[in-house]
Amino acid sequence: MDGGRTAFETGHVSVTQTRAAYTGPGLALDPHRNAVATIAIDLDRPYQLTLFDGADKPGSATSKTIALIPPGQLHHLVAMGPMAFLYLDALSDDHHALQHVDLSPAYDRLMAAGAAALKDADALAMALGVPTRGAPDPRLVPIIRQIDEEPEAFDTIAGAAALVPLSPSRFQALFRQATGLPFRRYRLWRRMARVVTLLRQGRDLTMAAHEAGFASSGHLSAAFKDMFGLTPSALHAILRAGPADNTP
């Protein structure tokens, strides 16, 4: 890619209604589990990716330029240079179909497109040719999109289920079928997206935690590190120097 490392000396986040993306310096990540399917893209040199098995035992590290990491997959990614991460829409993006797609041609197109093409989550998904899933139960769509916009407003699954209306157990089953995630895990993912947006809008960590519905900044930091492999304060430090795209 033209510009190499210099094009990504500062971090950039794009948070849309349904997806998120990060482009910037490689992050010192601990092993973690992303809530949603994630596409990891090297922007300068291949990274090392280790996947853990069901017993949380690490496999062999492999060198990658682009890879799909399934939701909930414990992994350890060691960046060797700047990176891009695309966090997919659990409701409409079909990560299962992507498991059978050769991403190499899409990677080549991205590298030829230039840095600007990588800094919008939806444009990045389009450039990669992310396929869409079949239509979910139509009763769930408005509720899920409401959770996307106001994740802190849904304290319990019973409250969300009552809006359909369905029993909590039936709602949970349909919700997981539609998104591939349990209700609480999906809500937590959307709260994390809210936190990143708030931090980029100038909130401090305590304010962002409160507005996103976390009991404390410490609770937020622990949950954030479990999901992304670093603390929100570490990410915030990387992002401060650069602008963010926080599309509503």
Structure tokens at 201: 């809008």
In terms of residue numbers, what domain contains 230? 141-239
How far is it, in rounded angstroms, from Cα 37 to Cα 28?
A: 20
The C-alpha atoms of residue 68 and residue 38 are separated, in whole angstroms, by 6
**Boundary of a domain, candidates 62, 94, 128:** 128
Does residue 120 belong to any structural domain of this protein? yes
- Same domain? For 89 and 173 the reply is no
Q: Is 59 exposed, middle or buried (0-12, 13-18, 19+ CB in 10 A)?
A: exposed
**Pair 81, 105 in one domain:** yes
Question: What was the pLDDT predicted at 63?
Answer: 97
CA atoms within 13 A on the CB side of 38: 25
Q: Are residues 27 and 80 in the same domain?
A: yes
Q: How many angstroms separate the CA atoms of 29 and 34, rounded?
A: 12
How far apart CA 96 and CA 94 sit, in angstroms, is 5
Q: What is the mean pLDDT of residues 96-121?
A: 83
108: domain CATH number is: 2.60.120.10
Q: 3-38, pLDDT tens digit by residue? A: 444 567 788 899 988 899 999 999 889 999 999 999
Mean pLDDT of 199-207: 90
Task: Answer yes or no: do 146 and 117 share one domain.
Answer: no
Tell me, yes or no, whether 185 lies in a domain: yes
Model confidence pLDDT, tens digit, residues 45-97? 999 999 999 888 999 999 999 999 999 999 999 999 999 999 999 988 988 88
pLDDT at 247: 43
Give the span between the Cα atoms of 127 and 12, in whole angstroms: 18
The last residue of one of the domains, among 94, 128, 162, is 128
Domain identity same for 187 and 98: no
Confidence of residue 1 (pLDDT cuts 50, 70, 90): low
Q: Which amino acid is at 184?
A: R
- 117 in the same domain as 13: yes
10 Å CB burial of residue 6 (0-12, 13-18, 19+) is exposed
Question: Residue 244: inside a domain, yes or no?
Answer: no
Confidence band (pLDDT; 50, 70, 90) for 248? very low
CB–CB of 57/233 below 8 Å? Answer: no
Residue 195 is predicted with a pLDDT of 93
113 shares a domain with 13: yes
Structure tokens at 153: 């407003």
Backbone angles phi, psi at 28, to 5 degrees: -85, 90
Does 123 share its domain with 146? no
Are 69 and 120 in a shared domain?
yes
What's the average model confidence in pLDDT over 184-208? 92
Position 239 pLDDT exceeds 80 = no
On whether residue 248 sits in a domain, the answer given is no
The pLDDT of 209-234, averaged and rounded, is: 94
Say which amino acid occupies 238: I
For residues 123 and 18, membership in a common domain is answered with: yes
Proportion of the chain above pLDDT 70, given as a percent? 93
245 in any annotated domain: no
Task: Please tell me the distance from the alpha carbon of residue 172 to that of residue 165, in angstroms, as a whole number.
Answer: 12
From the list 67, 72, 68, 66, the residue with the least C-alpha distance to 36 is 72
Cβ neighbours of residue 68 closer than 8 Å, sequence gap 6 or more? 37, 38, 39, 95, 98, 99, 103
Instruction: Please indicate, yes or no, if residue 89 is contained in any of the structural domains.
Output: yes
- 134 part of a folded domain: no
Last residue of a domain, one of 73, 99, 128: 128
Number of domains, the chain: 2
Please report, as a single letter, which amino acid is at residue 90.
Answer: A
Whole-number pLDDT of residue 222: 96
CATH of the domain at 195: 1.10.10.60
C-alpha span between 179 and 202 (Å, rounded): 31
pLDDT at 2 over 70: no
Tokens 């591939």 map to which residue? 180
Average pLDDT in the chain: 88
Closest C-alpha among 25, 66, 35, 34 to residue 49: 66
Does position 135 have pLDDT exceeding 80, yes or no?
Answer: no
Is position 118 within any domain?
yes
The residue with greater pLDDT, 164 or 135, is: 164
Residues 78 and 147 in one domain: no
Global pTM value? 0.89
Question: Do 216 and 153 share a structural domain?
Answer: yes
Q: How confident is the model at residue 241 (pLDDT cuts 50, 70, 90)?
A: low
